[in-house]
Amino acid sequence: MTITKMKLSDILKQFKYIEPDAEFSVRSRTEILLSPQAAPRTWRSVFTVLHMVETGAAVALAGFFIFILAGSFSPTRSIAPIQYAVIDPAGLHAEAQAIDMQIQLTDVEYPQVTSTAATSTASAAISSAFAGAVAAQPTSSVSVSTLTAAPVVPTSTASTTALSVDQVLQQLSQ
Amino acid sequence: MTVSAMAAIFATIFCVAGFHAPVAHAADCGITASDLDQITAIQNDPSLDASDEIKQELAVRKQLVGVTIICAQQEVQVLQTNLQNVSVESDMRSLQSQMMGDLNESDDFYNTELTKLSVVGIAGTKAIAQEVLAWRANTFIPLNEDINDLVLWNQNQDLFNTAQTRMTQTQQAVSYLEGVAPDADLQAAFNAAQSSFSTAQSENAAAKASLLGNLSPNQTYALIKQSLASLSDTYDNFSTVSALIKKNLPQ
């Protein structure tokens, strides 16, 4: 048993003397050195980002020149000490007029509903809608539809003046 | 040039041009004095016996009160539309939401009154009319005025932004000219423009604070009007400054 172990040990020790064939070594080294080397991964990322920046800058520059050619943007106006808008009477007048219009709008009393112009179609629509709603109520003992079908004819110009919601409610609460 | 950049340019053009969303107005109800005269006509009609008179008067009163309440609901709808169309600053969004909630409650109130109307007599219709009238005076009309103030104030901000741009451009021009050839008149006119614009901005900020602080709608309205008057004064001064700048430019 001991003898067998010693033989095996000797055999294993002899493995360290194993060497490749000299010609094979040279050929392999040459092939490795001549093969194309890939750039490190980090550098590839940098190159990709730079390429994107380059493309973006090109697009932005192209857009800038398109604006100039189209006349929508004048670099001289933007960087000039006195911009044309400051001395342009038309622009100044338009802005001032917009403020005057807003002042007029503010002065207008907002309708408190209203009924200032008595639109017959609107009135008729509301009347018919309400008449239908009330007619559907079983508790109503009076036929409203009969009354809506025979409205009282206005007797004077003053009586055709439309009233506000609050004026009507005031009258009907008495 | 991205799509968002183009959109921003168009938005700026619209702002500079002073574009405003129009304020919608309430619908007309068309209830006239002659409609109310129907009640008196029935009461004075000798051909009607007491029972018919009561039935017809009740029907007319129900119809008129009902139509009026439906008309008031249209008023609520108009305000809802106006309020929804307003794009407010972030610190005013809670106020906008609160107002929208109040409008929904108003609509509910009117629906409740309409339901009550179907089961009442003549005295009941009078009571409902009185109740709605009092509720409007105490609750709805102040809410209506507050919403109108918010819409107006919001519209004014485009005008203020445009004026701020003009102020910046004018300041740049005046500084340049004062460096080249000082002009006391020009400087005085520009100072006046700055002063009136500062006043307008203060009043505009006060109107916003009044809105957010739930102060009286009339107080807010007065501040809004004052801010616009001061802004108008600013443009009078801008006009003077512009003429003086033009005069000082080399011909």
Q: So what's the pLDDT on residue A115?
A: 38
Q: So what's the pLDDT on residue A67?
A: 64
Q: B126-158: b or e for each residue (b if 16 or more CB lie within 10 Å)?
A: bebbeebbebbeeebebbbbbbbbbbbbbbbeb
| Facing A154 at nearest CB: one of B34, B156, B229 | B34
- Among A122, A125, A130, CA closest to A162: A122
Q: So what's the pLDDT on residue B180?
A: 82
How many angstroms separate the CA atoms of B75 and A112, rounded?
Answer: 8
Identity of residue B146: D
- Chains A, B: CB contacts under 8 A, how many? 242
Q: How many CB atoms lie within 10 A of CB B220?
A: 26
How many angstroms separate the CA atoms of B246 and B251, rounded?
Answer: 9
As given in the structure block, the two tokens for residue B123 are: 């005295």
Interface residue A173 vs chain B (CB under 8 A): yes
How many angstroms separate the CA atoms of B208 and B154, rounded?
Answer: 9
Establish how many alpha carbons lie within 13 A of residue B238's alpha carbon, considering only the half-sphere containing its beta carbon. 30
Please answer yes or no on whether A172 and B58 come within 8 Å at the CB atom.
no
3-state secondary structure of B32: strand
Q: B29-50: b or e for each residue (b if 16 or more CB lie within 10 Å)?
A: bbbbbbbbbbbeebeeeeeeee
Q: So what's the pLDDT on residue B179?
A: 85
Please answer yes or no on whether B71 and A126 come within 8 Å at the CB atom.
yes
Please answer yes or no on whether A119 and B30 come within 8 Å at the CB atom.
yes
Helices (H), chain A: 2-14, 22-34, 41-70, 75-79, 84-87, 89-107, 120-135, 144-149, 165-172
DSSP state of A140: -
ipTM of model over 0.90: no
Segments of chain A with pLDDT less than 50 = 74-77, 111-126, 129, 132-155
pLDDT tens digits for chain B (251 residues)? 333 443 333 333 333 333 333 333 333 478 889 899 999 999 999 999 999 999 999 999 999 999 999 999 999 999 999 999 999 999 999 999 999 999 999 999 999 999 999 999 999 999 999 999 999 999 999 999 999 999 999 999 999 999 999 999 999 999 988 888 888 999 999 999 999 999 999 999 999 999 999 889 999 999 999 999 999 999 999 999 999 988 887 76
**Cα A123 to Cα A114, A159, B35, B38, B75, distances in angstroms:** 12, 15, 11, 16, 14
Kindly list the domain boundaries of chain B, sorted by start residue.
Answer: 3-145, 153-248
As given in the structure block, the two tokens for residue B53 are: 């008179």
Interface residue A108 vs chain B (CB under 8 A): no
Q: So what's the pLDDT on residue A165?
A: 93
How many angstroms separate the CA atoms of A150 and A164, rounded?
Answer: 23
Q: So what's the pLDDT on residue A51?
A: 87
From the CA of B91, how many Å to the nearest CA of chain A? 23
Q: So what's the pLDDT on residue B155?
A: 93
Q: Which residues on chain A are in Cβ contact (under 8 Å) with B130? A: 169, 173
From the CA of A128, how many Å to the nearest CA of chain B? 9
From the CA of B94, how many Å to the nearest CA of chain A? 24
Please answer yes or no on whether A82 and B55 come within 8 Å at the CB atom.
no
